Structure formats: structure tokens, C-alpha cells
Structure 1
Amino acid sequence: MIVGTAGHIDHGKTTLVRALTGIDTDRLPEEKARGISIELGYAYLDVPGPGPAPQRLGFIDVPGHEKLVHTMLAGASGIDFGLLLVAVDDGVMPQTREHLAVLSLLGLTRGAVVLTKVDRAEPGRVEALGVELRALLAGTGLAAAPVLAVSALTGQGVPALREVLFEAARQLPPRPSHGLAPRLAVDRAFTLDGVGTVVTGTLHAGEIAVGDELVLAGRSTRVRSLHAQNCVVERAQAGQRCAVALAGVAKDEAPRGAWLTAPHVALATERLDAQLRLWPGEAKPLRSGTRVHLHVGAQGVTASVAVLDGEQIEPGASGRVQLVCHAPVGAWRGDRLVLRDAGASRTLAGGTVLDPFAPARYRRTPERLAELGACALPTAARRRERLLTLLSHGLDLAAFARAEGLAEPLQGWALGDAASAALTERLLATLADYHARQPDELGPDAARLRRLVAPRLAEALWRQVLADLRTTGHLAVRGAFVHLPAHGVQLSAAEQRIAQKVAPRLREAGAEGAWARDLARDCAEPEPLMRATLARLAQQGELHQVVKDLYLDTPTATALAATVRRLAAEQGHVAAAAFRDATGLGRKRAIQILEHFDRVGLLRRVGDEHRLRADCALYLQEPA
């Protein structure tokens, strides 16, 4: 169990930890000289009990000075049990109130209030202060916390406090280690001779073992050795204070706030959605546009608030917001966060991360708010199930696993049953309409069809949907073209004869193409039959109709498309003059062919330029 001290400066936090554990957490020379804590300090205490490996308490001693609340927050997010200290000679002070707000807004419900320096108390002072504190605790997560009177100097009340801590540790449910990837919030880094860089922090989720390959601030690293709760171990579990020796990382590459994580869940976001509660003591509502200091894990960055539910959040009320961060932060679904005002002078609100991959657009639509409702469900399985019913464009499983911090990486996309049925219906209807409007074409290529049917659908999921419908016989795919099975009919004997006659003539015509009337004359076939046959061949993807009655064969069209791709790669676009020069065609024919490529989806017209559609597989020698 991790115990965090909190309270106003000089209210005896460090002295009490020393009385409980025998360890002085003030380790810096300037701390010794000034008699106050400046950095986070750590100490440990074994819980009596059976077995060779007793449970161990880890203490995080945080600074109480108002200018060091950001340091207090760096250690507070990982604690299980809070000790709020109030000196009887001073009573409730500003940092008492703010530290209580922090603990409450972080969702802490286990803790105790400790009245310190009771050896200095006047008669009746302890009882009066206890009554005042009960009123202060009302409505917070620590409303039911015991209030104990202690003197670290004389030892009064220290044994009773130890027993409270021991009993809380015995009753604390273990943090889940299985199913979640390791995530450690770095709150300190230093270098040891013969060891190298060591980072410390609370392991928020999962397990870390010696030899693990992890990521720290975007750099790959390996765990060389490991301490958990101040003991040398081979493996550490969620909820433990850890010191991790890392290979390949320098001390200055491990800043406070960085996350040590499994590679597949590493993330850094600048936009996240969260559920917030505004502290009841605030005088004004929280409105969109408010600039704040965001604290999550051991990191602090500035951010701007966009309220998603209504126009504002009233004091004491809850609501959903989007936080637009001014620097990347690591935050996973379910992580606790705290907001302080723009001047970092007081704590405003706290809450829970709903989605670390928040969208910049459509963030207040009913559909998006329904997704956030799904993100607030209590288990990953229920969140995934609900999101599948809501997301018509599918669920990115890898992104879902990363946001959840799951131990097992996921791949690919998933589509709910209702969404899949609606997409299939829309796709088949679109193809039928396309065939009715373009009877002489085999069908659109897969990328163009996606733009017509579901432009927001991921390419990988779209390919998966097409493959499934092809397997079930709902559609057919020829090269890059997609069509309904009934649209690709067989040629008659007469049409097969004409196809054999026109093949060498089209090959000879090359990029200039051949007209239906000229092919009818040269092949001695009736012109109406020739037109019908050429249209049928184009419908089957064997030929390509540039303009009415003008045809190219497939090898020629593929070669011209290769020229287009080359020009686009060299110049960023395809100009008619450049295409004309590259092919030796006249200007009119070059423009006709480029416009044909625009129509079928290989290119798109932007002003006087033609831009290559990068997702189009048309005319590739080996279609994707």
C-alpha cells in the first residue's frame, strides 16, 4: 500500500514519517538546512503478519509549501491511503484545504486525519479542532476518515496510527496486474555508479520484470535491475513504489512526468476527453476557454478547457470536458487528473480520463457524446461492446487497446453487427445505382467505391468488408474493380469473335485509341454490333472507354496510368502539357485521357491540375 502525506508546510509530515518508519525523507542538503521538504521523499514500513515476505507500506512525503503543490501532485496520483496532517498550534491552513481538495478530487476514499504536535495543545484544543475538521471533511472522499491525535516528539498516538495503517493495508484490495500493460509514472531520476540511470515512481498498472523491453519518453530501453518497496526483486506489481535501473537512457532523457510503459500502449496526446467535478469551494463556474494547469500521473502541463455538456460546470457539479493540452501528455482511460487555475494558485477540479484520442471536430455531437458514455462504463469488455454498437465506421482495435492500456496488443478493426448490416445494404445499393448510371463500365475501383459509400471507414476495414462480401457471393472483384455478380455477364459467340478481331487493332492504335466506327469498318462488322460488343468488353474491364465510342486496350491504359503516376511523383501533380509531352499525344487526346482518369478515380481535378489519388489501385500491374 502506498501512503501519501498531505498538509500545510511545517505541520510535521516528515517528522511523523520518521517516527513511523525510522527513515528521514529529507535527503537534500537544502532540505536539511531549511527544515522543509522540497522534493518528494520516500520511506517504508513492514506490515506484521505471517509468511516469509510481509506486506510493505511505502510512504510518499510531499512538500507542503504552496509553491510546491505541483511537486505534491506528482506524488499524489499513485497513493492508496492519504494522511492529512493538521498541527494543533496552527489549525486548518490554506494548504490543508488545497491538499484535501487534491486528495478528494483524485478519488481517494481511504485515509486518516492526523492532529500533530498535540504535546503543545492547550486543554480542549484537540476536541475543538476535531469538530472543525469533521465539518471540513464533509462532502469529500475522506468524510468518514478517522481523526487521530499524535505527537511525533513524545510518541503519543504513534502506535495507534501504525495499527490504523496496518489494518488499512490488510483490507486494501490488490490493484489488477493481469490484463493491463505496465505503466510507471516517473517522479524522480538519478544516476548511480556502476548501475546507470535509475527512475523511480509508482507502478500504476501491470507488472515489470528484469529484462523487459519498455519505452520511456519515446526511447526504447531495457530493465537492468529492479527494486520494489525498497527491496531487490525480479518482478514488481501494480501499486508498488519502484526504482528501475534502465539501459540505454541518460538521466536527462527521463524527466519527471515521463511514462515508462510497454511499447504497444505508449502514447502522447495533446487532446483528451474527461469527466470532471468542479470543487464545491470554487466561486465561479468552469467555462469553455478557461486556461488551466493539468496534472495527470506525475506530469503537469498547461491546457485549455472546452465544456462538452452545456455551457459551463457549476461548483460541486460534474460534467464532461475536452482538454486541449499545450504539450503532449501520457494519459490512459480511467486515469485520475487534477486541474489548477492558470496562475497555479489553487486547485479547481478533478476527474477521470474518458478518451485520450479525443477528436478536434464534432466533439459535441450526440453521436460523440454517446461514445463518451460508452467510455465511462466500468469494464473494458463492456466499453468495447458498447462502442461496437455505436461506431458506424468501426472500432480500431489497436487504438482501443492502447487507450485502455491492455496487456495484450490488438490488431485490425471490428464492426458491430448492426453497423455491418447497414454498411452492406448501403454498399450494394450504391453499386446497383452505379451500374444503372454507368452500364458500360464494369464498376468503380475499390477506393472510389469507399469514397461513395463510407469515406470515414478505415482502408484496412474496407478491404476486410469487401473480402467478406466477395466470399459470401454478394459482390465480385476483378482487378481493382468492384461490381455486382450479375453485372459481369458472359460474352456471346459473336461478341467473342469481334473481341478477337479488335484486339490487334487496339494494340496497334496505342494511346491514340480506336473509334467504334473505324473498328467496325476495319473488321467488316455491323456498327451497332461493334458498339454493343465494345461496351460489353468495357463493362467487363477488358477495354477502357475514354470518351463515347473511343477505346483503349488494358495494356495501353496501364502504361498511360504509369506515366501519370511517375509525373505525380516527380511534380506533385499532373499537368496536361507535361502529360502530352511525356506521351507524344496531341493536346486534345491528352486532356481526354486525363479527364477519363479523373472520372474513374485514378486522378482528381484541382483547378488546372490533376492530383493522384494515393489510395487508388486502378491500372496497377498487380492490383492491391
Structure 2
Amino acid sequence: MIVGTAGHIDHGKTTLVKALTGVDTDRLKEEKARGITIDLGFAYARFAGEAVTGFVDVPGHERFIHTMLAGAGGIDYALLVVAADDGIKPQTLEHLAILDLLGISRGLVAITKADLANPARLEGLTAEIRGMLSSTSLREAEILPVSATTGQGIELLKERLAEAEGATIASSADGRFRLAVDRCFTLSGAGTVVTGTVRSGSVGIGDQVVVSPSGLAARIRSLHAQNQQAERGFAGQRCALNLAGEGISKDAITRGDMVVDRYLHAPADRIDAELSVLESEPKPIGEWFSARFHHGSAEAGVRIVPLENPVPPGGSGRVQLVLDRPIAAAVGDRFILRDVSAQRTIGGGRLVDLRAPLRKRRSSERLGFLKAASLPHAGGALVALLDVPPFLVELDVFARDRALSEEELQAAISFAAAEVIESASARYALSANKRAGFSDDIQRVLTAFHAENPDLQGIGRERLRLQVTPRLPAPAFLVTLRAEQVLGRLVLEGAFVRLPGHEVRLSDKEEALYAQILPHLEGEERFRPPRVRDFSEMLGVDEREVRRVLKLCVRLGRVDEIRHDHFFTRQATAEMVEIIKDVAANVERGEFSAGLFRDRVNNGRKVAIEILEFFDRQGVTLRRGDIRRVNPHRLDLYGGPAPEAVEGRDSSPVGRPDFKF
């Protein structure tokens, strides 16, 4: 259990922690000289058997509220301190408001310096404190008079902390690892060490991690958990991590950074959130309101954009937070807002969507999405998200932004009874109803297209994708089309899609003419076939008729028109794609000239260039000057591997359109 102190300056927080643990948490020379806490202090003690209870001692001065927030973000139990001789003061109220906004409901109020007050004073102060707590998450907290000088109530307080430690439910370590850094220093003989509270997951010696948002990669050389050397640290524990890696140093890591599982590194600077405003605020939070944003141990400037109406004092609403720098965060994390002059706390809330859009942020569809995304249970949120536009969830983004492990993600998918569409670059979920409707929608569009265009081979794949709901990304759409083809519901022919029963047929006369043409398109001459005028002279048939029949065969997928009046069989086209792949595979960086291709097909330079320009237009090759390279994402047009089978830049979250940094 992690206990955090809270309360006004000089009310005895540090002295109380020393009486409980024997540790003076004021470690800085200035703290000793001035007799006040300036930075976070830490102490540990055993109250319940072998369990180690950690203490985070925070400053009480109003100038150091930002430091108090850095320590309060990871606590399990609040120890609110009120001095018997001084009573409730401004920072008592502000600290209590912060604890309430952070959702901390477990805690105890210690009336310190009880030896300086008579029973009547203690009774009256207890009543005041009870009234102060009545509308907060600590309304059930016990109030104990204590004195570090005489020892009054100290043993009873230790008993209460032991009971709280025993009642603490261990945080789940199933999620992905995140540690909010509150200190970074260099230790002689070890190197760079960071300390903080593990927010989720677990970490062990030798694990590879990332310091976010900077993106520095590191390895865990050794660690301490709850002030003890350990092999592994778990969620809910305070840990010290000895980091090693290129660029890792005391100056490279600061308070506010997070050490995370590599999968989670995806900083955010535009976040949609739920905001609650304190009743003490003088006016509503309106458009582009400036404030200071506190999350975990991080602090940043922020502009607030209400998504519905201005958020009134004592009220709540959905807002968009536009940060002046990216932070590492997770959906569901709590945050606090303070005014830009650091004079008062404005409010706080929960993060809902880390990839908030700049446009259409107030649309009804967007607000429906946020309502669904705000559900705390991952499975429940997935169910709700699949029921609102765009009726599609990218599962890896969903899991990453919630710091879910693969096991937790699979549990959410099972809870939602979701249908998964999986490609090498991404996984998507649809509800069972939407997946069935998606198949029906494809059938509807194909049927209508064939009715309006009976002489066309089929509809273009991209055109079909844009007409069905939900609108899947192109690689995932191709996966679904192939699944539909396996079930016999449609036929894929290159870049075209048709119903199984649809076929553009040639007449007997047209078939007879094509039968005369076909032998000249195959065999050794397949890469340099005659042109339309050559067939006209060779067969004694009108040039327009030859052209018309060959264009019908293009629609049937039998041939491809590489250049005007120059037709190749589809088999020859596919074979040339394989030749291009082989040529590219055997040259440096996969870049080849037209001459290398010409030599392989044993063709003239002019025809070879015409063929390559055809593949340029199809997107199979990418040209820069006289050099070309293969575009792996278009090879499926002619029977090559599917685009999702090629690993590339999009496998990184930073390369995907959901990632905004």
C-alpha cells in the first residue's frame, strides 16, 4: 500500500511520518534549514507482518502544490493532516479537493499536535472536519487525534494503517507496464536510477522498456520494490529502476516522464476527457480556456475546448484538452487542472480518448463515441464502441491506449462477442450484427452494380470499399473479401469484384475471333504480342472489331491493355510482375532500371518501358526518374502476396493515422 500525506504547511506531516516510520523524509539541505518540505519525501515501514507500506510525504505550501500533485497521483491511501492548534486552512481544503478529484476514497484524518488542544477544542475541530469531508470521496474516513511529541494516538494510527494494508487488494499485474517517474538521479557504481509508482503491469530485471514521451529505449539492469531489492516490481508498488541504454542519463529523464512497455509508447497531445469543475471557480470553463494540466507526475500547459457547453462551477462536461507538449498517458487516467498562475485548483477528471480529432469534434457521432469510450470496463467499452459510428475498433490501438495486455484484450473481445478481422499490420473488431450486415451490404452493392452495368466485369475493389458500412481500411477490406470468396458469396478478379453468377459473355462470333487471336498472345511471343492493326492485317478483320473484342476480354479479365491497342494475356501480366519482383530482389536497395527488365523479357526498350509505365499506373511499381522499385502493397492485383503480408512502416503505431504527435 502507498500512503500519501496531505494538508496545510507546518501541520506536522513530515513529523508524523517520522513518528510512524522513524525516517525523516526532509532530505534536502534547504528543507532542513527552513523546516518545511519542498520536494517529495519517501519512507517505508512494516505495520502488517511482512507487507511493506510506503509513504509519500508531500509539501504543504501553496507554492508547491504542483509537487504535491506529482506525489498524489499514485497513492492508495490518504493521510490528511490537520493541526489541532491551527485548524482547517486553505491548503487543507485544496489538498482535500485534489484527493477527491483523483477519486481517492480510502484514507484517514489525523488531528496532529493534539497535546496542544483541550478536549472541547478537539471535539469542535472533529465536527468541522466531518462537515468538510461530507461531500467528498473521503466522507467515511476516520478522524484520530495524535501527537508526535507525546506519542498520543500513534500506536492506534499504526493499527489503522495495518488494517488498511491488510485490506488493500493487490493491483492487477496483468496490464502493460507503466511507471510514473518522480525522481531521476545517478547512483555511484550503478548509473541512472528512476523512482516512481508502478501504475499498471509489472517489470523485471532484463526487460526492455521505453522512456516516454522522449522515446529513449532502455533495459532494466536492477530494481528495488518497496525499498527492497527484487527481481520484479508490480502495480501499486513504489519502484526504483536502474536503467541502461544509449542516451539514458540523469539529464535525459525528468519528473513527468513515464517508463513503459515498448508497446505503449504513443504520446498524445490532444485528448478528449471528462472534466469536473470545483464550485469555488468564479466562472464557467469556456472556449480555449488556459490552464496547467497535471497528470501523474507530469505537468504541461493546456487549452480547454468544451465539446458541448461551457462547464459551469460545480458542474461537469466533456472537453478537449490541447496540450503544449505530448505526454504518456492511458484511457481512464485521472488529471488535475490548475490556473496558469498556480494560485488555485480549477477541477479535474478522467481521460477518455488519447487520439482526439481536430475536426468534427462536436458532432453527434463523436459525442456518442466518447460516451461509449468512457465506460471503465474494457469489455463494456468495446461493446459500446462497436454499437456507435464508425462501428469498428482497431484492437491494437484500443489495447495500447488502455495499457491492456494481450490476455486482457482477448477477454474484452470475448466479453463483447466481437468478430475479429486480422491482417499483419492491424486487427479490427466488428459486432456480430455489423459483420453480418457488412456481408449483406456487399451483396446489395454488387447486385445493384451488375443491374446497372451488365456489360462490365465487376466493380472496382476500392469503389466497393467506399460504398459499404462499416468502412474498413483497404488491407482489412481485402481480408474480408477473400473470406467472402471462400464462402462462395463473391469472386475476386484482380482489382475487380463480382457476384459468382455474373459473367460478361462473348458471342459465338466474338469467341471465334478471340480464339484466332489468343495463340499470338501466348507462347514465346507473350511478352511482345502483335498490336491491333497487326491482327487486323493478319486475320483480315476490321481493326475496330479486333479492338472491340479485345476490350471486352479486358472486362472479362482475360487480357490487359498495356498500351493503346497493345494487349497482353492476364497470365503474361502476372508473369511479368514476378519477373519485376525477381529483378528487384537481386539489385541493391531493390531499385532497378528499365534495361534490366527489358533483358529479362527479351523485348525492345520501347515496349519494355510501355509495360513498366502500365505497372506504374497500376501502382505495382514506383518510379523516380529512370529508377523503379516494387510497391509491395499492390502486388495482390496480379496474384502476388496480399498487401498486409508485407511488413513495413505501418507496423509501428507512429506510422498509423490514429497516432497524432
Scaled by the length of structure 1, what TM-score is found? Answer: 0.84
- Deviation of the 1:239 alpha carbon: 0.9
2:482 matched residue in structure 1: 467
SS in 2 for 1:86: strand
Q: 2:122 aligned with 1:107, yes or no?
A: no
SS in 2 for 1:253: coil
1:330 matched residue in structure 2: 328
2:81 matched residue in structure 1: 85
1:207 matched residue in structure 2: 202
In 1, distance between residues paired with 2:490 and 2:496? 11
* Structure 1 residues 452 and 503, CA gap change in structure 2 (3 angstroms): farther
Q: Which residue type is aligned with residue 125 of structure 1?
A: R
Q: 2:446 aligned with 1:431, yes or no?
A: yes
1:540 matched residue in structure 2: 556
In 1, distance between residues paired with 2:616 and 2:491? 22
- Deviation of the 1:445 alpha carbon: 4.2
In 1, distance between residues paired with 2:83 and 2:274? 34
2:472 matched residue in structure 1: 457
In 2, distance between residues paired with 1:479 and 1:194? 63
Q: Which residue type is aligned with residue 401 of structure 2?
A: A
- Deviation of the 1:377 alpha carbon: 2.4
User: Once the two structures are superposed, what CA deviation does each residue of 1:342-374 show, in whole Å capped at 9, x if it has no partner?
Assistant: 222211112112222222222222222222222
User: Once the two structures are superposed, what CA deviation does each residue of 1:214-263 show, in whole Å capped at 9, x if it has no partner?
Assistant: 22221222222121111111122211111111222222222111111111
1:288 and 1:311 in contact (8 A); partners too: no
SS in 2 for 1:47: strand
In 2, distance between residues paired with 1:233 and 1:437? 71
1:396 matched residue in structure 2: 394
1:576 matched residue in structure 2: none
Q: Which residue type is aligned with residue 386 of structure 2?
A: L
2:385 and 2:391 in contact (8 A); partners too: no
The partner residue of 2:346 within 338, 348, 359 is 348
Q: 2:428 aligned with 1:413, yes or no?
A: yes
In 2, distance between residues paired with 1:354 and 1:128? 42
1:2 and 1:57 in contact (8 A); partners too: yes
- Deviation of the 1:615 alpha carbon: 6.5
In 2, distance between residues paired with 1:233 and 1:615? 47
The partner residue of 1:96 within 92, 95, 99 is 92
- Deviation of the 1:20 alpha carbon: 0.8
User: Once the two structures are superposed, what CA deviation does each residue of 1:547-603 show, in whole Å capped at 9, x if it has no partner?
Assistant: 9x956435898999x99xx9xx99xxxxxxxxxxx9979xxxx9xx99x998x9999
Q: 2:52 aligned with 1:56, yes or no?
A: yes
1:235 matched residue in structure 2: 232
- Deviation of the 1:151 alpha carbon: 1.5
Q: Which ranges of structure 2 fall in alignment gaps of 5 or more residues?
A: 410-425, 585-590, 593-603, 622-629, 643-661
2:532 and 2:566 in contact (8 A); partners too: yes
Q: How does 1:11-50 map to 2 (within 5 A)?
A: 11-49=11-49
2:300 matched residue in structure 1: 301
Q: How does 1:280-319 map to 2 (within 5 A)?
A: 280-308=279-307, 310-319=308-317
- Deviation of the 1:130 alpha carbon: 2.1
- Deviation of the 1:486 alpha carbon: 2.6
In 2, distance between residues paired with 1:105 and 1:67? 20
* Structure 1 residues 490 and 597, CA gap change in structure 2 (3 angstroms): farther
In 2, distance between residues paired with 1:7 and 1:22? 20
- Greater Cα shift, 35-44 or 241-250: 241-250
In 1, distance between residues paired with 2:489 and 2:340? 58
Q: Which residue type is aligned with residue 42 of structure 2?
A: Y
In 1, distance between residues paired with 2:505 and 2:333? 61
- Deviation of the 1:406 alpha carbon: 1.1
1:117 matched residue in structure 2: 113
- Deviation of the 1:82 alpha carbon: 0.7
Tell me the matched-pair count: 583
In 1, distance between residues paired with 2:498 and 2:341? 62
2:494 and 2:639 in contact (8 A); partners too: no
2:225 and 2:233 in contact (8 A); partners too: yes
SS in 1 for 2:387: helix
1:131 matched residue in structure 2: 127
- Deviation of the 1:21 alpha carbon: 0.6
1:574 matched residue in structure 2: none
- Deviation of the 1:288 alpha carbon: 2.8
- Greater Cα shift, 614-623 or 205-214: 614-623
SS in 2 for 1:313: coil
Q: Which residue type is aligned with residue 213 of structure 1?
A: Q
In 2, distance between residues paired with 1:416 and 1:460? 19
2:155 matched residue in structure 1: 159
- Deviation of the 1:71 alpha carbon: 0.9
The partner residue of 2:539 within 501, 515, 523 is 523
Q: Which ranges of structure 1 fall in alignment gaps of 5 or more residues?
A: 571-581, 604-611
In 2, distance between residues paired with 1:528 and 1:199? 78
* Structure 1 residues 511 and 372, CA gap change in structure 2 (3 angstroms): farther
- Greater Cα shift, 262-271 or 502-511: 502-511
* Structure 1 residues 128 and 108, CA gap change in structure 2 (3 angstroms): same
1:617 and 1:623 in contact (8 A); partners too: yes
Scaled by the length of structure 2, what TM-score is found? Answer: 0.79
In 1, distance between residues paired with 2:635 and 2:441? 22
2:532 and 2:546 in contact (8 A); partners too: no
- Deviation of the 1:440 alpha carbon: 4.8
2:178 and 2:259 in contact (8 A); partners too: yes
* Structure 1 residues 527 and 429, CA gap change in structure 2 (3 angstroms): farther
User: Once the two structures are superposed, what CA deviation does each residue of 1:291-344 show, in whole Å capped at 9, x if it has no partner?
Assistant: 121111211111111222x31222222222221111111111221111112222
Q: Which residue type is aligned with residue 304 of structure 1?
A: R
1:226 matched residue in structure 2: 223
- Deviation of the 1:211 alpha carbon: 2.0
In 2, distance between residues paired with 1:444 and 1:614? 23
SS in 2 for 1:64: coil
